[in-house]
Structure 1
């Protein structure tokens, strides 16, 4: 009696791409089992290439979360986000094109035009299927998409609840090359705690502030020190006008205090230790349309 040989170990990079606000960051977090990439209901929450690592018995996948590829937007920041979104698929062994059911927009088409030029196979992930009241509508919707666009497979997801992830992971592993793991088994990302701290502060700005203001804000970590089991962090929130500074601070400093309190809790959960966080707000006019400022704040290499 013979036994099946152990399947070969596989490693590869998988790019998660899509237009803004389709749930790429939520999907990344669900796939790696940790709240790594920041999430908010607002488009363009993700501004960086975020690597999240999922290690299993016979595979390790380095997922690359990307900013949403979007039309319009003429500021330097918008151009930089699109550059990152276009570059990442070129690094990938496989691609997941995430869309939000039941819509296919011009921006979705722009993403397809990008991934169709890559050699890496691409899966279509139809996310937010809970928003479709009659699930029978999903099949003709996807049939119209795939009639002229050749994907390596289609998956239906509700990333917020982990639905559809097991089948997606199974298909992705089959697309990856045979190779040893490139990261330690307990690694979640290649990003530093300093970077992640800035992102978690910015997440609260996205969640708590009015519709347009978050896009005029960024976060710079000015001091990060580990003292035993305590992280001492000082961060500046940059805005573009004095009036925005007053909004971020809030009446009697209440808004800034709430932002800091929630961000600190997120950091303590992810870092696994106590955090002492200091925040203040600074003004730099039109920083998001200034290449030198973008470089200082870590948006360009």
Structure 2
């Protein structure tokens, strides 16, 4: 295929936390690019999922959810990451939850007010609306908030109507060579994915606010042997949190480690020796230096 017939570009997904941006990226790519949990603000990083179809490549930029509460340095850095991700973008997908409109939705949309980039509205979670007749007035009300370039209702969870969304994005990709090799589905390496896998299992097991004050640092990632050896440090912000993560007689840490190891074995296609430690860095989420030092 000649380079002159190729088209490729960057598409950023923007919206408040928990509207399903990461689930949508995973569904479009067909691979687990971003971790997904029921908890808001699961995504902390700018992660790219790569979708290559025939002569078109779409780099889908998954961003942290934009939110009005900026109580900690981590919250501020996540918002900065989301906004900075809009630089050099060819299309923006503003993702909302069907039938829902909140303060954080309005704040996220306001961030797009000065963009000249095409902005499409993606109405996600339509499977949760029993009466589909309610969708049309909701989408009409959304178009009154902004003149969107296109509107596509989808269910990322059920992979419904995704081809229509791919078509809208593909039609707006500029001519040019692919940005990534055809066989790649993300810009992130296995070391990063290992850290995110451990964090996903922590978020699924731990309750209330504790998951948000945890960071993962991979101290060793060795692929030279018959199995991949991974040493990961779980950073918490208080001494009291450390005992919760470890659990009675180490039960919680073992449970998290086993779930993460099984997930990694499936994703990496190789045996994995995963070892976890828990350490305290006092109130790291309130220190911008610590937040950035831990990879955010």
User: Shorter-chain TM-score: which interval?
Assistant: over 0.9
Distance 2:284 2:122 in 1: 35
- 1:184 is displaced (CA, Å) by 1.1
1:275 to 272, 275, 286: 272
Residue matched to 1:98: 95
Distance 2:235 2:133 in 1: 47
Contact 2:10 2:61 in 1 (8 A): yes
Distance 1:91 1:207 in 2: 34
Distance 1:296 1:73 in 2: 19
Residue matched to 1:3: none
Distance 2:159 2:82 in 1: 25
Distance 2:71 2:208 in 1: 19
For the aligned residues, what is the CA RMSD?
Answer: 1.2
Residue matched to 2:171: 174
Give a deviation string over 1:260-293, Cα, whole Å, max 9, x none: 1111122222222221100011111100111221
Residue matched to 1:298: 295
Unaligned runs of 5+ in 1: 1-6
Distance 1:224 1:130 in 2: 40
Residue matched to 2:235: 238
1:260 aligns with 2:257: yes
- 1:229 is displaced (CA, Å) by 4.6
Contact 1:200 1:263 in 2 (8 A): yes
Residue matched to 2:182: 185
1:212 aligns with 2:209: yes
After TM superposition, the score normalised by the length of structure 1 is 0.94
Residue matched to 2:18: 21
Q: SS of 1:163's equivalent?
A: coil
Unaligned runs of 5+ in 2: none
1:135 aligns with 2:132: yes
Contact 2:77 2:288 in 1 (8 A): no
Structure 2 CA distance for partners of 1:148 and 1:295, relative to 1, 3 Å: closer
Residue matched to 2:72: 75
1:286 to 257, 278, 283: 283
Give a deviation string over 1:60-84, Cα, whole Å, max 9, x none: 1111000000001221101000001
Contact 1:90 1:118 in 2 (8 A): no
Distance 2:168 2:239 in 1: 51
1:119 aligns with 2:116: yes
After TM superposition, the score normalised by the length of structure 2 is 0.96
Question: How many pairs align?
Answer: 293
- 1:116 is displaced (CA, Å) by 2.9
